[in-house]
Structure 1
Amino acid sequence: MSQIPPSHLRGAVDLSSLVNRAATSGGPAAASGADPDSPAQALVLPSLFFEGTDANFNDFLDLSMTVPVIVDLAASWAEPSQQLSRVLERVIQDYAGQFVLVTVDVDSNPQLAQAFQAQSVPAAAAVIAGRPVQLFAGALPEAQIRDVFEQLLQLAAQNGVTGRVTVEGDGAAPAEADAAAEPQPEPLPPHHAEAYEAIERGDFDEAIAEYKLAIAQDPRDTMAVAGLAQVSLLARLQGRTADEIRSAAAQDPDDAEAQELVADLDISGGHVDDAFDRLLTLFPKLGGPERDSVRARLLDYFEIVGVDDPRVMKARARLASLLY
């Protein structure tokens, strides 16, 4: 049984609406130039890193016949999403051509967001031999991400996808080659940076402490509030299994703590509506501290998913009706 946060490969989503779309420019053109009469085990591409859109994703489906394609489902406004993107770029670089990374802005590419069931960000998926595979949701520690990648290589080998990419020129990724010419992003605030490093180490307690310090310094630091909610969820799930969590909740449907853990599990897997409905259905049955605990958990979820998300707005309205 796998540990939570999930480190196993989960399910598949339907990309059939994308498969037949006419390919357009903007993807890795070298993929279509492979010799059709011989196994495409080596490709020369301009980069290991690409931007995926609703228009150009067919190119990456083709590329996935040779090398696993990692899909970073991202949003520029979400700090945890930016953190995950940086970790994925570093890990992809370390694998030296065994993967390519395609970053998809879910706000600008609704078809891809729907196809990959991107109910929250950050999230990661993959495409192997034209078939999509969901990987994980949330900003996992780097060590767990590398474990997922190792499992993904095994799955790729089982499907005959064993190629490798060589980057044109000196092998440096364009993100590195153009670094001097492009404006560099502002560094993270100190406590955010410390929290990010702690998450990478799997030290969720330290990350929680750093985010709390950031909030103490600036209570209006919304990114710290969202980061604290997310890392607190990861800490609650650390060392537990999905079977253990769901079994305990099934045995006692009125146990608030058990139901909160299942909701945590659902949020971590992107099942946002399920998590909201579970706790909002339980809420009227509770009183005292348990009621306060479930309300606080829901407020954390609103920060994780995004306060402007339509699902959050709906759940917030439902919670308000139960409170007043």
Structure 2
Amino acid sequence: MTQPLDGSMYGAVDLAGLANAASPAQAGSDGSLPGPYIVDVTADSLRTVLETSGRVPVILIFHAEQSEVSGTLATQFEKLADEAQGHFQLGKVDVGAHPEVAQAFGLQGVPAAVAVLQGQPVPLFQGTIDDGELAPLITRVLEAASQMGVTGVLDGEVDAEPPAPQHTPRVAAGMEALDAKDLDLAEAEFTQALKDNPGDEEAKALLAQVELVLRVQAVEDPAALLQESMSAGLQDIDIQLKAADIECYSRRPDSAFARLIDVISATSGDDRETVRTRLLELFEIVGADEPVVSQARKALAMALFS
């Protein structure tokens, strides 16, 4: 049964502030705006979606793998978005893979849908909805958008594959040091690259990998430490962090992630934040697109908000 959402769902983040922080997209020669009809929304891409809502109505559909009803509804919305030919953008949010986006909107379950107009969220429904209600619902969103002057139309073009990134001199030097197996020099180069440009994601990821190897190499007997960690308490974060490093380095990231999430559940304050930060670093090392990372992110969200 469809349940209307109230305004209290928007206390988690300043969505409007995110949207207003960026410049609007520029229209093409035919008046259309660049962008696809349908996008997958993550925490990283949420800002872009909010920016789009300043020119084109956006509808977010929240779904989850374990909810067949929500998956079916998302598919129905995709069909309507294609038929609308860019008069609104559909943003699909997998709440299992990206719980932080659902938390930003204060959602308590799936399926759910929210319109975003000029960065402002407008609740549409939470729960099931009759098929015949979808098209009229979208019509009402477009009418509200028109009254606000949000009447842009997307061209449906998906961004082309970006060219291979060019390494900065510091990153290039660090990679040369890695080839020469000089980890200390590589660490210094990647660290300086981040100081020069704190937003250098490549340097950040490479530095995390090098630091992991250095930490593991500093452990005299990894097997003995893993054995010791079995009897150590979860509050002994030093030994648990080292054990997780060893497991991740040994290609057992699932064990490393589970260990640190258990520690997060059992700690608080600075200790919890230290472990959370290390866990996020290990996520970066393993790779954001890996299924084991997606599963661990769900478990982390439950540990943090339980």
- Pick 1 or 2: higher relative contact order, CA cutoff 8 A, min separation 6: 1
Larger radius of gyration: 2
